[in-house]
Amino acid sequence: MRLNGKVALISGSARGIGEATARLFAREGAAVIVADVLEAEGRAVAESIAKAGGNARFLKLDVRKENDWQQAVYEAESRFGKLNVLVNNAGVSGAQFGNELTEEAWRFIMDVNSSGVFLGVKAAVPTLKRAGGGSIINMSSQLGVVGSRFTHPAYNASKGAVRTLTKAIAIQYARDGIRCNSVHPGPIDTPMAAGIFTDPAVERQALAQIPLGRRGHAEEVAYTCLYLASDESSYVTGAELVVDGGWLAQ
């Protein structure tokens, strides 16, 4: 098993990419903390993992709240004795254009997607140090590298912030044995993406930019996270791994 003996905390793991990552990590031997603001769905994921023979526990986590993060990391270390992997996966999207842009929408997206990652890193670093190092995986997006016509500009800005924050963390904590990398999915078949692609014209526009001609699957992103969480990537830090069907290659 590629994660045997490791403990992983995954935010936003009640559904979508986070859920797929939690299930895969558990199958690969990790003890998993399923952390999400969606309590009923998160508990169901953790219970399902446990029934399948995995080791999982649910913790309610609003990534915008520093106290929630501190409690989540404390619970992980108290229950499992350590923390080896943090996956900052929780995120939100938006589809406002032109004069529909609001300060409220901007702040909400930035608070979840950017500040939530910062708070997760801040809470986890001391625990990762006590464990002798570890892996931080920050979920960005291909739209953290380029702009788009069909998402709120705050989404691009927030994911771009995650991209560069990742590199700063990688440099600053490398000597502590802490690696930090970002993952950049393209359109993935998840509940969040379903909300964006309700308009068939928008979906056609997005798919036209993907050389592979389809949306990705959550499991395809989860396997990228598995590589970064495992010792197989022990010399990889500050990198951005793109999982976008070729979008950025054009």
Q: Where are the domains of the chain?
A: 7-249
Are 196 and 234 within 8 A, CB to CB? no
Query: Has 155 been annotated as catalytic?
Result: yes
At residue 97 the predicted structure's pLDDT band, cuts being 50, 70 and 90, is: low
Sheet arrangement for strand 7-11: 55-60, 31-36, 7-11, 85-88, 134-139, 178-185, 240-243
- Class of the domain covering 7-249: alpha beta
Phi and psi torsions of 23, nearest 5°? -65, -40
Per annotation, catalytic residue among 155, 173, 227, 235: 155
Residues 164-173: tens digit of each pLDDT: 999 999 999 9
Sign of the CA dihedral with 182 first, then 236, 130, and 28 last: positive
Report the chain's mean pLDDT, rounded to a whole number.
Answer: 94
Residues 177-225: tens digit of each pLDDT: 999 999 999 999 988 766 666 677 777 887 888 999 999 999 999 999 9
Is the confidence at residue 123, as pLDDT, over 80? yes
- pTM, 2 dp: 0.95
Is the confidence at residue 75, as pLDDT, over 60? yes
